[in-house]
């Protein structure tokens, strides 16, 4: 990956692509104020530099049969690096786990898990998660509703001043 120093146009490109990954290059170029060929070169440079990790569709979980979202705080018996990596690899093999974050504090990991219903989550919890090697405890929090879900990060048009 080559290093890219982000200017105002790069930031606008990232902001627009984050909001709409399906925007055409022509529309993107028009919106950021440059012509299409340099816009495409900039997008490719941003991809190569690792600023753009990929593109995806935001699908409706409920329409696909996933009625339940649970946030599980998971504690491990051992926090040795090999044990942390082993848990992360195991979690990576479970399609119900949509996010896995290692934490500092009382729990070692926070997982976002989707399930068809509460019974399906309980089966996953008892047959996979709590049964997993090195898991010492799990605290589950059922999401009732989501008031805000934004992808990515806030992107300002201008970089923050360096102090």
When pLDDT is averaged across residues 43-61 and rounded to a whole number, the result is 95
Question: pLDDT-based confidence at 84, cuts 50/70/90?
Answer: very high
pLDDT at residue 65 greater than cutoff 90 = yes
Q: What is the pLDDT of residue 2?
A: 57
pLDDT at residue 161 greater than cutoff 70 = no
What residue ranges in the chain does DSSP mark as E strands? 68-76, 97-102, 109-115, 135-142
CATH for 62-142, among 3.40.50.1100, 1.25.40.10, 3.30.70.920, 3.30.230.10?
3.30.70.920
Closest CA to 129 of 70, 82, 67: 70
Q: What whole-number percentage of the chain has pLDDT above 70?
A: 94
Q: Which residues contact 133 (CB under 8 A, 6 or more apart)?
A: 86, 90
**Contact criterion met (CB below 8 Å) for 23 and 16:** yes
Q: Where are the domains of the chain?
A: 8-48, 62-142
For residue range 86-142, what is the model confidence (pLDDT) as tens digits?
999 999 999 999 999 999 999 999 999 999 999 999 999 999 999 999 999 999 999
Q: What is the pLDDT of residue 3?
A: 59
Overall CATH class of domain 8-48: mainly alpha
When pLDDT is averaged across residues 48-67 and rounded to a whole number, the result is 95
Helix residue ranges per DSSP H, 33-152: 36-48, 81-92, 118-124
When pLDDT is averaged across residues 10-26 and rounded to a whole number, the result is 96
What are the strands of the beta sheet with 97-102, ordered from one edge? Answer: 97-102, 109-115, 68-76, 135-142
Report the distance separating Cα 4 and Cα 46, nearest Å.
7
Q: Which residues of 108-135 are buried (b: 16+ CB within 10 A; e: fewer)?
A: bbbbebbbeeeebbeebbeebbeebebb
Task: Please indicate whether the domains covering 8-48 and 62-142 agree at the CATH topology level.
Answer: no
Classify burial at 5, counting beta carbons within 10 Å of its beta carbon; exposed 0-12, middle 13-18, buried 19 or more.
Answer: exposed
CB atoms within 10 A of CB 14: 20
């Amino acid at each position: 990956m080559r290093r890219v120093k982000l200017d105002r146009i790069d930031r606008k490109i990232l902001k627009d692509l984050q909001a709409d990954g399906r925007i055409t290059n022509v529309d993107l170029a028009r919106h950021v104020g440059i012509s299409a060929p340099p816009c495409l070169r900039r997008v490719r440079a941003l991809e190569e530099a690792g600023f753009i990790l990929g593109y995806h569709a935001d699908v409706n979980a409920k329409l696909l049969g996933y009625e339940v979202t649970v946030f599980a705080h998971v504690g491990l018996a051992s926090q040795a690096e090999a044990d942390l990596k082993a848990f992360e690899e195991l979690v990576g093999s479970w399609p119900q786990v949509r996010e896995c974050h290692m934490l500092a504090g009382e729990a070692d990991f926070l997982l976002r898990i989707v399930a068809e219903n509460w019974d399906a989550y309980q089966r996953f919890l008892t047959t996979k998660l709590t049964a997993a090697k090195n898991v010492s405890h799990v605290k589950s929090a059922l999401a009732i509703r989501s008031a805000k879900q934004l992808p990515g990060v806030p992107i300002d048009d201008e970089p923050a001043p360096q102090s």
